[in-house]
A and B are shown apart, each in its own frame.
Chain A
C-alpha cells in the first residue's frame, strides 16, 4: 500500500503543500474514497519518520436522505399548502397525496390551512393564508451549502428531531512532512534471502521491521499430562531426598495387606461396601504369609506386643477378601514386611506415587480414582520431631514453607499429625497432608526390631498444586474416620 498510487500522490502533494494537508480534502481533490487516503497514510506511517499524521475529529451537519429530498422538493407542509386550490380540497383526497399525512398536521399547526368539518361531502381543507415561506426548505439548503453555522442551535435540534439533519463525526488526518521525508519510497523487503547474501544486495535494501506484536508459529509438539508432570516433579523430590521407589504395580490387594496388616480392625467403617470396591472375581486372595497372619490375628483379637488389642473375633475369610486398594499404605506394609525379613536390620527410606480407589458417591470434587503420594522412613530412634523435620524439607521443595501440625487420628499411626499450610489466596490454613508414626501393633508382628520406628506421611497428587494456585480441588490422604 505504501507503494501504491495514492501514497505516491500524497507524498507529491505533501512536498508541494505548505505545512501539511487534510486527508479528507485530499480525497475530495483526487476523487478517491477517504478510506483509500487513510490506508495510504497508515502504511506510510509504518515505514518510520516519512510522514507525521495527526488524527483530527471534526463534526459536521449533514442532511439525511429525507432532508435532501425536502431541500429539493420543499417541506411536506409546504407541498400540502401548494396542492390546495382556492376552492379547497377534500381531506380524504389530500391524505392520499404523497406528503399528505405528514404535511397536513404540520400545516395545521403552522396555521396555514384549516378544516371545515361541516362541508357537504366530507371534511374539506382550505387555505388560510395566501402564501407561505418554506422556512424548513430554506434552512436545509443552507446546511447543504455548507453554512450550517448560520442556523441557531434550537433550529438545528428541531430539524434533527424531524430526522432531517444528522451530526456526523469525521475523522481525518492532518498529514505533514516527517523528519525522513522523501517523495520516493522503495519497496521494503520482508526476508533476507540467500541470493541477497551471495550478491551482497542486502546492503542497499530497506527491510520491513518485524511486527513483534503478532504471534509466531507454535511448534507442532506433543504434551505431557499436567497431573503427571506434578507426579514427575514429586518423584524427583523424593529421589533428591534419598527415598527409594516402592513397587506399587498392583491395583488389586487383599484386605489383609490393605487393612489387617495395618492394624485396622475388621469392623472399621472404611471396610464397608460403601467406601471400598470389593471384587467379585477373583474374590479372595490365594496366598497369605500364614505365620505372619497368625501374629496379626492374635494382635487384633487378644493384644500382645504391649497392646490391649481390639478384643474382637478376627476372621480369616474377612482378611482374604480382595479389593481395589484404598491407599498405597498397603504397598508400604509389604515393603516394610520385606525389610523386616532381612537381618540384620538396615534403615530404609521409601516412597510411592500411584493410583488408589474409593467407592464414594461421585460429584464435582470427588473421584473414584485418584493418586496418592506416600513417604516412609524406617530407622532407630526416630521421633515426632524427625517426622516434622522431614515434612518441612519435603514441603519446602514444593514451595510450601509455612507449616503447622495438628493432632489427628489414623487406625495405623500413633502419634498422628495433620499438616496444615497457609493459603495466601484463601487467607486461611488448609490441610496439605496427613502423617504419623506407625503403631507397634503393625510393625512388631512383621518382625521389625523393637527400637525401630517408622515415620510416614502422605497426600494426594492434587494437594501441592492447590496451595500454589487458587484451585480448590479436594482429596486428602487417609480419610480419617
Chain B
C-alpha cells in the first residue's frame, strides 16, 4: 500500500477544521484509508540514525496515511483533501478543463529513434501557477510517489517537470548515442556526457536503481528545446537549466515511457492535482505531441466518461434499499458526479479523469457502498443450500494423523522448499534423477528446489532437537513436488507420509511395526497376494 506523508496542521488547515487523532483515524477507516503512523521528521531521523543526528530536525507533526494502490488521486495532500472534502459534502468536485492557449501551443515532436527504447510521450502546461514551499515540496513528492507506484519505478513512465520560462519550444523527444548527449544535469555545476553520468550515478543512492532501464542500450532518450537545451534524459535525470523553483510561474510537464495508457493517466493525475494553484484554477493548458508517423495528439486528455447504471442493480449488489436520488448523492460524494435520468431508475455517472481506477460498474457499486458506510449495511446469510464434501486425500490425511499420534509419534511441519543437496547428494542421489522442480534466482540455497521427499525435513527437525529426551519419534503427512509432463503446468504434488525414529538404537522394528499398524488401519493385508503389501530392500539408496 502506498503511504503518503502529510503535515497534520497543513492538512487540517486545508480541511477547514481540526480533528483529534482518533477522529481522523475514524474518518480514514470510513473512507478506506489507514492512518498508519503519527510521527515527525525528528522522530524518523531519530529512529533511523540515532538521537544526535535528529537534533535540529523538524518536529512538525506528520500523518502517514496508507492509500489504496489504485487511487492515484489520493497520493498527495491536495488529492486527499479534495477527496475528503467532497466525501463530507463540504465542497463540490472541481471540473477540470483543458484550454487552448491564445498564443502558440507548446509542441513536443517525437522522432523515430525513440521507438526502440521509450516510444511514448505526453505533455501539458500549468500556466500562471503559484507555488509556496509546501506546495512545491508536495509537487515533487507526488512525482516520486507516482514513479514508485503506477510508473513501476520509472520503467513504465518517467515524469519531467520544467520551468517553461527558461525554455523555448517546440521541443524534440529523440534518442541519441550516449557519447553525443552532453548537458548540465540537475544540481550539478558542469556539463557531462551521458556516459559520464551513468558512471557518476552508479553511486547515487536514489538514481542508481533506474540506470538499468537504459544502460547498455545503443541510444539514450533525450528531450531538447529549440535552442538545443536539454530538458531531460528520461528516465534518469532532468537538466539543471529548466529546474523548477518556488518562484516558477509556468510549468512544462512531459511524461515519457513504454506504456501509453499509463503515461496519459500519470499526466492527468499531476495536472488535476496541481492546477488548483493556477491563476485560473483547475484549468490546464494544452500541449501537442506529434508522433513519428505524423499523427498528432493534444494532451492532457482529461477525459470525462459517462456510465449509466440502474439504481436497483446497485441496491441489489450492496444489499441496501436506497432511492435513486440518494444513490446519486452517495456517488457524488465519492467524486463520481451522478444524477437520476430516464425512467427515474437509471443513474448517469460522470467519471472524472482523477478516477482512472473506475473501469466497470462494480467499481461504482463499491463507491456507493463506501459512501453508505460498510458498517451500516445489514448482514444477511446467503440462502445457498449445499452439502459439503471433503477432499478425499485430505480426509484420509486427517484420519491417519490422529492415528499416528495415537501410535506415539509427534507431528512435524517442515518447509516445502530446500536445497538441491538436501534431496540429492545427502541421500546418495543425483539431482537429475529426482525429477525435482527448480526455482529460478533463489535468494539462498534454502530455496533452490521444492522437496521430492519428506525425509530431509524430518532429519533436520531431529538435528535441531537432538538435545531433547530420547527417543524422538516424528512424522509428517504432507505434499512433495515432482515434474510431470502429463499435468497442465508440468508438475504435480504427491501426498507422502514419513516417519522417523531416533534413539541410541536405530529401532528398525519400531518403524516396521508402525508401517504394519498403518496398513492395518488402511485395511491392506500383509502378503504377496493382490491388494497386499510386502517390504523389499531398495538398491543402496533411498
Which residues of A approach B to under 8 Å, CB–CB?
Answer: 220-225, 227-228, 232, 235, 238-239, 241-254, 267, 269, 273, 277-288, 303, 305-312, 322, 324, 347-349, 355, 357, 359, 361, 368-369, 377, 379, 381-386, 388-390, 392-393, 404-409, 414-417, 437, 439-441, 453, 455, 480-481
Contacts and interface: CB of A to CB of B under 8 A. Distances in A.
A252 B156 contact: no
Contacts of A249: 393, 479, 492-493, 495
Size range of the interface on B? 35 or more
Interface in B342-383: 359-363, 365-366, 369-370, 374-375, 377-383
22 contacts: A225-B412, A241-B388, A242-B387, A244-B386, A250-B492, A251-B493, A277-B417, A277-B447, A306-B361, A324-B439, A347-B386, A368-B415, A379-B383, A384-B369, A385-B377, A385-B379, A385-B380, A388-B379, A393-B381, A407-B32, A407-B370, A409-B32
Contact of A414 (B365, B375, B379, B410): B365
A220 B510 CA distance: 15
A416 B370 CA distance: 10
A246 B450 contact: no
Contact of B1 (A247, A251, A481): A481
Interface in B404-451: 404-413, 415-417, 437-443, 447, 450
A239 B220 CA distance: 60
A440 B391 contact: no
Nearest to B451: A251
Given A224-B402, A245-B390, A247-B391, A286 B359 contact: no
B447 A440 contact: no
A371 B262 CA distance: 35
Contact of A225 (B68, B411, B441, B493): B411
A239 B387 CA distance: 9
A385 B378 contact: yes
Contacts of A281: 437-438, 483
B369 A286 contact: no
A306 B413 contact: no
Given A414-B363, A441-B360, A278 B386 contact: no
Given A248-B391, A277-B447, A441-B360, 16 more contacts: A222-B408, A222-B473, A239-B388, A242-B385, A249-B493, A303-B359, A308-B360, A310-B261, A311-B261, A348-B384, A389-B381, A406-B34, A408-B32, A409-B32, A414-B366, A439-B360
A357 B443 CA distance: 14
Interface in B460-496: 473, 475, 479, 481, 483, 485, 487-493, 495
A220 B412 CA distance: 17
B70 interface: yes
A206 to B, nearest CB: 38
Interface in B309-367: 316-320, 359-363, 365-366
Contact of B490 (A223, A285, A368): A285
B130 interface: no
B362 A437 contact: yes
A312 B261 CA distance: 7
Contact of B411 (A224, A238, A359, A439): A224
Given A224-B401, A235-B394, A277 B379 contact: no
A228 B360 CA distance: 40
B200 interface: no
Contacts of B495: 249
Contacts of B401: 224, 228, 232
Nearest to A223: B410
Contacts of B386: 242-244, 347-349
Contacts of B413: 225, 227-228
B389 interface: yes
Interface centre among B1, B369, B386 (most CB of A within 10 A): B386
B359 to A, nearest CB: 4
Contacts of A415: 318, 362, 365-366, 369-370
Contacts of A368: 415, 417, 447
Interface centre among B319, B383, B405 (most CB of A within 10 A): B319
B411 A377 contact: no
Contacts of B68: 407-409, 480
B375 A250 contact: no
Contacts of B225: none
A273 B362 CA distance: 31
A214 B454 CA distance: 40
A355 B495 CA distance: 13
A446 to B, nearest CB: 16
Given A252-B437, A383-B319, A267 B360 contact: no
B202 interface: no
A379 B385 CA distance: 10
A222 B406 contact: yes
Nearest to B411: A225
B488 A287 contact: yes
Interface of B: 1, 29, 31-32, 34, 68-71, 152, 156, 259, 261-262, 305, 316-320, 359-363, 365-366, 369-370, 374-375, 377-391, 393-394, 398, 401-402, 404-413, 415-417, 437-443, 447, 450, 473, 475, 479, 481, 483, 485, 487-493, 495
A129 B303 CA distance: 123
Nearest to A383: B319
B40 to A, nearest CB: 22
A251 B481 contact: yes
Contact of B316 (A224, A361, A381, A405): A381
A243 B32 contact: no
Given A235-B398, A414-B362, A384 B374 contact: yes
A105 to B, nearest CB: 56
A385 B318 contact: yes
Contact of A282 (B318, B361, B374, B483): B483
A279 B366 contact: no
Given A405-B374, A480-B68, A386 B360 contact: no
B440 A278 contact: yes
Contact of A369 (B318, B388, B417): B417
A307 B359 contact: yes
Contacts of B412: 225
Contacts of B261: 310-312
A254 B489 contact: yes
B334 to A, nearest CB: 10
B360 A440 contact: yes
Given A225-B411, A480-B69, A288 B439 contact: no
Contacts of A355: 416, 479
Given A303-B359, A306-B360, A385-B378, A282 B415 contact: no
A389 B411 contact: no
A280 B439 contact: yes
Nearest to A277: B439
Contacts of A305: 360
B384 A244 contact: no
A135 B340 CA distance: 117
Given A222-B409, A408-B32, A254 B379 contact: no
Contact of A267 (B152, B318, B417, B492): B152
Contacts of A384: 317-319, 369, 374, 377
A116 B317 CA distance: 116
A285 B489 contact: yes
Contact of B374 (A227, A280, A381, A406): A406
B361 to A, nearest CB: 6
A388 B376 CA distance: 11
A223 B360 contact: no
Nearest to A307: B360
A66 to B, nearest CB: 49
Interface centre among B381, B402, B404 (most CB of A within 10 A): B381
B490 A322 contact: yes
B437 A282 contact: yes
Contacts of B409: 222
